Amino acid sequence: MVRVNRLSVLHVALALFALALTARAAKVQLLDGKIWGRAAEKQHLAQTSLDAPRGEIRDAAGVPLVRSQERVRIAIAPPEVRDMRELTRALSRLGVGRSVIRRVSDRKHKWVELSETFQPSDVVVLARMPGVHARSVSERLYVASDGVRRIVGRTGSGGVAVDGLELALDSLLRGVRGRTAAFRGANGERYESPDLLTEPPRAGSTVTLTIHLALQDICDRALAEAAAHLGAEGGDIVVLDPRDGEVRCLASRRAGSRVGAATAVTEPFEPGSTLKPLYAGALVERGLARVDEMIETFDGRYTVAGRTINDVHKAERLSLADVIRFSSNVGIARFSERLTDREQYELLRDYGFGTPTGMTYPSEAAGTLREVRKWTAQSHASLAIGYEISVTPLQLAVAYGAIANGGRLMQPAIVKSVQDADGRTIYTHSPRVVRQVLTPETCATLRRILQSVVDSGTATDAELATFNLAGKSGTARRTSGGRYGQGMYTSTFIGIFPGDDPQYVVLVKIDNPAKTYYGGKAAAPVARNVIEAAIASRSVNLDGRTLAAQKIRSAPRFDPAPVPLEQVVDAGAVVEDSAPRGPALPPVSLVDTMPEPPLRGPIRFDLGRPLRDVPRTDSLVSVPPVAGLPLRVAVRELHRAGLKVVLAGSGDGATQPAAGAQVRSGTVVRLWRP
């Protein structure tokens, strides 16, 4: 008989228990090991998404204009605060407003979020206080220049691009988010480790612009001083390199708005007399007129299709060159009669008017150039004097760029190169010729005529002491509330510098100057100031070697006496018809003839109420890129852009129309759920 004692029973029980534990451990480790391993990992590791640093934007010289910087956003839970006095003192030291501090001090408030962000080093102590919740955010750091900010645009909350180049180049600048895991501590704290980096973030590309910060500063300042001096509402300056179409500066200013869009690209205007040289070029090119050919100008008063056109400087007859030099409306209207409506339309269309230039910038305006079938009997003459058409300052600068470079209409560019996160160059701008609009010979002739405008015509205020400058001034009436306003003008001057081997096209447009409003008096001196400052600067990309060779004289500037018009008109005149020469004209201070707007102008052509088939450029918006964003953020961004949203099933956050497309504000956008 087997003797069973209590100790043996205990041993057996313990052995069985150990066996059960071993079996269980074996099941946990061997059979369910992966499941438990995942559970443990989930408990101890927290998956975190890493923001990709947004790419830099630099100027042409490599100066950083926009960078991403880590900042700290602070929120305070007043009920959790232990030492309120210490906290308020710390907030006060940071410069937080009194009203916010009062809200923080009131323990009735559950959560107070400070609107501003802070340098991480400034809030080290504050962030450790109980009740203070600090969160790192990436913010864009812009160089302090309103002009640059207008060009590069903004990013909104969460680094979403809102407008400007930030929006246009978002896919390049955005980068690719990464993923990492962090150890979870016992109290919920997280510890990141380089070993746990599962997917490193990829920084956005670095974009180098064609803009020069130094020149941008020069133009911003010149525009601000001109606006203050002339009592103007605002204006625009465009500096373009005609040789490769690179935009060197886009300065804009509007009363009442500190920073907005680059209006030189987005706001069209009626160009007035600045179109006249383009007509002269077309007439010469087609063999329809010679520059020294005289035409009757009827003492500055001419009626066509029931509309009377007047000149400021009245003359019986003028040569084509002098029509440009003295900005004769009658002369150019008469010369333009040699072109058919179709030829006139094609001439303007060839310069790119009525279509966007294609420069990388969201919401670029196309301007307005109506088809011939929509013209009235007066349209032919109106267009010749720069009405019934609207162009952006950039379009006009590009058109003059063609005169400057020998007839090649260049596509303007604002992006010089793009480097990816590894420093590889993935894009470099190469000049692109859109079309040949004039022959080099005609361009050289036009530049000589335009030099006469500056040295003895309507824009002598732009004249430089030691360089030839070619240019044309223009003055046009402006509309307000659907009508041409009384005393409202756009003063414009476009300079080609130097006149013989041009490196710059400088367009200056002044809106509603309160004092003098003639383009040659208001805008031309601004262009001269810009060019003088550019010559004196070492960092604006002027080719000093070529420039030195073009210096014509080294005399101090003097104010020349006004040139008698009679003397100018007589110079080089070729009498081709039998019309008697008009009476001698008195010496006058030359100003550009301001074309009168068409009689029915405000009704037929109104920038505020454009034609039905022309989309309102001021209501065009770009569809923001929302791929990869949470649904709520994506919808918010689309709404913020002024669009309506319809959800269209599951997807990857794509939209229809696609991101970047120009659509009218209020358009319904289909969004595939991210």
Partner 1 sequence: MRSGGGWGIASRGRLIATTLLIFLVVATSVVWRRTRGMAAARSLQTLASSRAELESRRLQLESDIVTLASRGKLGVRVESRLGLHVPNDSQVILLPLPAAATRRGR
Binding range to partner 1, per CB under 8 A, among 73-81, 300-308, 401-409, 555-563: 555-563
Which one, of 157, 553, 150, lies nearest residue 361 by Cα?
Answer: 150
Residue 48 engages partner 1 in binding (rule: CB under 8 A): no
333 vs 506, beta carbon nearer partner 1: 506
Report the DSSP pairing between strands 234-241 and 246-254.
antiparallel
Q: Within its chain, how far is the Cα of 241 from the centroid?
A: 17
CA 296 – CA 283 distance, rounded (Å): 17
Minimum Å distance from CB 130 to partner 1?
19
Q: For residues 325 and 449, is the Cβ–Cβ distance under 8 A?
A: yes
Contact residue for partner 1 among 141, 421, 563, 627 (CB under 8 A)? 141
Q: What secondary structure, in 3-state letters, does 405-460 show? A: HCCEEECCECEEEEECCCCCEEEECCCCEEEECCCHHHHHHHHHHHHHHHHHCCCH
Minimum Å distance from CB 532 to partner 1?
5
Radius of gyration in angstroms for the set of CA atoms belonging to the chain, rounded to a whole number: 34
Residues with Cβ within 8 Å of residue 256, at least 6 apart in sequence: none
153 vs 277, beta carbon nearer partner 1: 153
310 vs 539, beta carbon nearer partner 1: 539
Residue 120 engages partner 1 in binding (rule: CB under 8 A): yes
Minimum Å distance from CB 187 to partner 1?
11
Minimum Å distance from CB 494 to partner 1?
19
555 vs 561, beta carbon nearer partner 1: 555
337 vs 532, beta carbon nearer partner 1: 532
Contact residue for partner 1 among 29, 47, 92, 193 (CB under 8 A)? 193
Q: For residues 151 and 259, is the Cβ–Cβ distance under 8 A?
A: no
Residue 551 engages partner 1 in binding (rule: CB under 8 A): yes
Minimum Å distance from CB 223 to partner 1?
12
Q: Say whether 626 sits in a helix, a strand or coil.
A: coil
Contact residue for partner 1 among 31, 44, 183, 371 (CB under 8 A)? 183
Residue 94 engages partner 1 in binding (rule: CB under 8 A): no
CA 74 – CA 86 distance, rounded (Å): 16
Residue 1 engages partner 1 in binding (rule: CB under 8 A): no
Token code pair at residue 314: 């009245």
Burial of 466 from C-beta contacts in 10 A (0-12 / 13-18 / 19+): middle
Which one, of 454, 458, 432, lies nearest residue 498 by Cα?
Answer: 454
CA 635 – CA 647 distance, rounded (Å): 9
Contact residue for partner 1 among 43, 115, 121, 578 (CB under 8 A)? 121
Binding range to partner 1, per CB under 8 A, among 13-21, 297-305, 533-541, 649-657: 533-541
Contact residue for partner 1 among 305, 536, 574, 668 (CB under 8 A)? 536
Minimum Å distance from CB 58 to partner 1?
11
Q: For residues 244 and 210, is the Cβ–Cβ distance under 8 A?
A: no
Draw the binding track, 63-82, toward partner 1 (x: CB under 8 A; -: no contact).
Answer: xx--x-xxx-----------
**CA distances, 176 to each of 71, 276, 508, 629 (Å):** 20, 51, 41, 12
Minimum Å distance from CB 140 to partner 1?
11
Residue 178 engages partner 1 in binding (rule: CB under 8 A): no
Minimum Å distance from CB 221 to partner 1?
6
Prior bond of 560 cis (ω within 30°): no
Number of residues that bind partner 1 (CB under 8 A): 49
Residue 573 engages partner 1 in binding (rule: CB under 8 A): no
Q: For residues 421 and 203, is the Cβ–Cβ distance under 8 A?
A: yes
Contact residue for partner 1 among 12, 18, 40, 549 (CB under 8 A)? 549
DSSP letter assigned to residue 212: -
**CA distances, 10 to each of 1, 19, 22 (Å):** 19, 14, 18
Residue 49 engages partner 1 in binding (rule: CB under 8 A): no
143 vs 459, beta carbon nearer partner 1: 143
185 vs 440, beta carbon nearer partner 1: 185
Token code pair at residue 426: 């993935």
Which one, of 278, 327, 282, lies nearest residue 300 by Cα?
Answer: 327
Residue 428 engages partner 1 in binding (rule: CB under 8 A): no
Only one residue has tokens 């040569």, namely: 319
182 vs 372, beta carbon nearer partner 1: 182
Question: Which contiguous run of DSSP H or E holds residue 301?
Answer: strand 301-304
Minimum Å distance from CB 314 to partner 1?
34
CA 635 – CA 605 distance, rounded (Å): 37
Give the ranges where 286-362 is alpha helix by DSSP (H). Answer: 320-325, 329-336, 341-350
Minimum Å distance from CB 126 to partner 1?
13
Minimum Å distance from CB 606 to partner 1?
37
220 vs 244, beta carbon nearer partner 1: 220
53 vs 625, beta carbon nearer partner 1: 53
End-to-end CA distance of the chain: give it in Å, rounded.
Answer: 78
Residue 150 engages partner 1 in binding (rule: CB under 8 A): no
**CA distances, 235 to each of 254, 319, 362, 513, 559 (Å):** 7, 33, 20, 9, 27
Contact residue for partner 1 among 465, 585, 614, 633 (CB under 8 A)? 465
67 vs 483, beta carbon nearer partner 1: 67
Give the ranges where 337-375 is alpha helix by DSSP (H). Answer: 341-350
Minimum Å distance from CB 191 to partner 1?
3
Draw the binding track, 196-235, toward partner 1 (x: CB under 8 A; -: no contact).
Answer: -----------------xx--xx-xx--------------
Q: For residues 598 and 378, is the Cβ–Cβ distance under 8 A?
A: yes
Residue 535 engages partner 1 in binding (rule: CB under 8 A): yes
Contact residue for partner 1 among 54, 91, 104, 145 (CB under 8 A)? 145
Residue 467 engages partner 1 in binding (rule: CB under 8 A): yes
Minimum Å distance from CB 451 to partner 1?
15
**Within 512-531, which residues bind partner 1 (CB under 8 A)?**
529, 531
- Under the rule (CB under 8 A), what is the footprint of partner 1? 63-64, 67, 69-71, 119-121, 124, 136, 141-145, 183, 185, 191-194, 213-214, 217-218, 220-221, 464-467, 529, 531-533, 535-537, 544-545, 547-549, 551, 554-557
